[in-house]
Amino acid sequence: MRLRVAALALATSGAALALPQITRPQQMGPGLYGVSPPLWLMRPAVVPPPPEDHEPRRIPLSAPAEPVRDPVVQRSVPALLAPPTKLIFEGIGLGTVGVPSAQSFSVEADPADPQGDVGPNHYLQIVNSSIAVFSKTGTLLLGPLPTHTVFAGLGGACGGRSGYDGIVLYDPLADRWLISQLACSTRTRTRTSTTTRSSPCGRTAIT
């Protein structure tokens, strides 16, 4: 019996020694940070030219010998359960005349990846790497302008390059707006902007 206990103890200690050591998580702070001027006073950032398109290659696919019936295809339209909207207006799109630049907006990438949020007095929309500020009645107040305009004060690669996959959020508790997006081509950094006041057109804390 004692031999079995001793063998079990040796086996347990050996297995424990073979396990990798548990290390503490590494905490990383912001690389760059600052406060931007009011957004409506900033000059729109320069948009770099899009990358060169290449002819897509054909992918060989085997066609089924007989028609295949999809068991989950939708064959009827259900009743509309969403509440009716009170106001509908056009967001950022091809040909949108910018404010105050008066320049026509052009689409840089497809799909557009539109996203936005509404606050007490504004609707802030982001499309790919451009943002615009609307009133709640649909009047364009600012933009569209490159999103990295907000982060121009950071400098470096993350402050001067276009970003992607951006989101905008309104925080009703703090009465602040947040803009965040992936930055740089490495996809390992994010940049975040938080307004210092309730207006999305004012100064922002950037990091």
User: Would you place residue 173 in the very low, low, confident or very high pLDDT band (cuts 50, 70, 90)?
Assistant: very high
On the 0-12 / 13-18 / 19+ scale of CB atoms within 10 A, 30 is exposed
Q: Which of the pair, 46 or 42, is modelled with greater confidence? A: 42
Q: Give the C-alpha separation, 199 to 120, whole Å.
A: 10
**Contact by Cβ (8 Å): 122, 133:** yes
**Contact by Cβ (8 Å): 182, 12:** no
Q: Which of 170, 192, 190, 189 is nearest to 179 (CA)?
A: 192
Q: Which of 105, 93, 207 is nearest to 146 (CA)?
A: 105
In this prediction the pTM is 0.70
- Ordered strands of the 176-183 beta sheet: 34-35, 204-206, 189-195, 176-183, 164-171
Q: Which of the pair, 201 or 156, is modelled with greater confidence? A: 201
Q: Give the C-alpha separation, 202 to 152, whole Å.
A: 15
**Contact by Cβ (8 Å): 159, 117:** no
Task: State residue 95's pLDDT score.
Answer: 87
**Tokens 């989950």 map to which residue?**
72
- Comparing 31-40, 103-112, 150-159, the range with the smallest average pLDDT is 150-159
Per-residue pLDDT, averaged over 11-22, amounts to 56
Task: State residue 76's pLDDT score.
Answer: 84
pLDDT in tens, 70-109: 888 888 887 777 777 888 899 998 888 988 888 888 887 7
pLDDT in tens, 190-200: 888 899 989 99
